[in-house]
Amino acid sequence: MLLSLIIIAIGFALLVFGANFLVDGACNIARRLGMPDRVAGLTIVAIGTSLPELVVSITSAAGGHADMAFGNVVGSCLANLLLILGLSAVIAPVTLSRSTQRFEIPVSVAATALLALFANTDGQVTLVEGIILLVAFAAFVVRTAVVGLSEGASEKDAETEADAADADPVAEPLVFRSAIMVVLGIAMLKFGADFVVDNSVEIASALGISERIIGITVVALGTCLPELVTSVVAAFRGNSDIAVGNVVGSNISNLLLVMGGPALVANIPYDAAYNVDLALLAIFSLALVGFAFIGRRHEMSRANGVVFVVLYAAYIATSVLR
């Protein structure tokens, strides 16, 4: 069992470094293609930080452990919302923009409801339903990109693009290095996912623990590490927009992309026990909007952050016991 734990730790490291390589390489290529940094962050980076969950879920489904795919998604979303955003607010109060309150959080709640509807209709998420989830995710990404582009690139973006255009002698090596980073990142994600899933299942079987519990705890916490690092660093730097956008955007990616992807590989059977988890996810997402009107308007305070962290600890405790 000790060896399995060590391999899981190595798998988590591969997931984190693989995601970082993939995101950095993709963003460099996006800039070279003329995409503003802000729009690249809203699309490529949001997807990139959800890739560990996506790869783990697809690997789980392909390996016949689809129950872990649901646990991974639900556990990661609640960890993002309660633990990661809660810790970010504890470090520094988090500003909740009008866009987050009026569009992104409602979309997150709607994605939760859509997934719950599909899962409870016939006790599984089918190929057709997976395609619908992926189409909904594509629509969200396109809308985000269109709105971002319509606002226009900032002067800083323009200067960055101009500098990149002037740096023609090093442009091709930069793109080549970025492409290598993307390929290397994908490979690290694949091997990391295999290490985490295979050894988590082995430990669960040895201890008599259900895959659901392993999915919403160990695997979920491990695969949300990129979001944790990004949000905490952003909080320390006082950039709350990145912290909130990273969490809410990643949750939307998890619910639509990460659940839609595995459904293309195999039907994902659904345990009705997850209804409680999905309901809590929707309730806590709406509570986030409520924080904008408690105390200082449009802000999640340190006290609110403490509440979220405590709620996450209570959720993990009750999940293990029930």
Q: Mean of the pLDDT values across residues 46-64?
A: 75
Give the C-alpha separation, 54 to 59, whole Å: 8
* pLDDT exceeds cutoff 60 at 153: no
User: Is the pLDDT reported for residue 27 higher than 60?
Assistant: yes
**pLDDT of the residue at 170:** 52
Long-range contacts, 153-159 (Cβ 8 Å, 24+): 153/36, 153/38, 154/36, 154/38, 156/37, 157/36, 157/37, 157/38
Whole-angstrom CA distances from 184 to 18, 53, 206, 302 are 7, 17, 33, 39
Question: Which pLDDT score, from 0 to 100, does residue 193 have?
Answer: 73
Predicted pLDDT at 38? 52
Tell me how far apart the alpha carbons of residues 5 and 33 are, in angstroms, rounded to a whole number. Answer: 42
pLDDT at residue 255 is higher than 70: yes
Residue 146, pLDDT above cutoff 60: yes
What's the mean pLDDT in 132-155?
79
pTM given for the model:
0.75
Q: How far apart are CA 197 and CA 41, in angstroms?
A: 29
Confidence of residue 8 (pLDDT cuts 50, 70, 90): confident
pLDDT for 22 beyond 90? no
Domain locations in the chain as residue ranges:
2-321
Question: Across the chain, what does the average pLDDT equal?
Answer: 80
- Among 29-43, 50-64, 73-87, 135-149, the range of highest mean pLDDT: 73-87
Q: Is 301 helix (H, G, I), strand (E, B) or coil?
A: coil
Pairing relationship of beta strands 94-95 and 299-300 according to DSSP bridges? antiparallel
- Residue 188 is which amino acid? M
Question: To which H or E segment does residue 125 belong?
Answer: strand 124-125
In this prediction, residue 242 carries a pLDDT of 66
More confidently predicted of 34 and 258: 258
Q: What pLDDT shows up at residue 273?
A: 83
The better pLDDT of the pair 117, 173 is held by 117
Mean of pLDDT values over 223-232: 71
Is it the case that residue 132 has pLDDT exceeding 90? yes
What's the pLDDT band for 164 if we cut at 50, 70, 90?
very low
Question: Residue 103 contacts by C-beta under 8 Å, 6 or more apart in sequence?
Answer: none
| CATH superfamily, domain at 2-321 | NCX, central ion-binding region (1.20.1420.30)
Indicate whether 239 pLDDT > 90: no
Q: How confident is the model at residue 240 (pLDDT cuts 50, 70, 90)?
A: low
Q: Is 94 helix (H, G, I), strand (E, B) or coil?
A: strand
